[in-house]
Amino acid sequence: MFNGGYSRLYTIYVDGFPFRRDLLTPWMIATLVDFYINVIALAAWISYKESNFITATIWILLLICFGSITTCVYIFIQFLKLSPKESLQDPVYRVLLRHESKGVEQKMKQSAVMSARIAFSVLGFLMLGTLIYTLLTDGSPFRKELLTPWVVATLIDFYINVVALSVWVAYKESSLISGFLWILLLICFGSMTTCAYVVKQLVQLTSQDPVYLILFNRGNRAENRYERT
pLDDT in tens, 11-47: 776 767 777 777 889 999 999 999 999 999 999 999 9
In 3D space, the residue among 92, 80, 95, 64 whose CA is nearest the CA of residue 161 turns out to be 64
- Give the global pTM: 0.87
Whole-angstrom Cα distance, residue 72 to residue 75?
5
Average confidence score pLDDT of the chain: 88
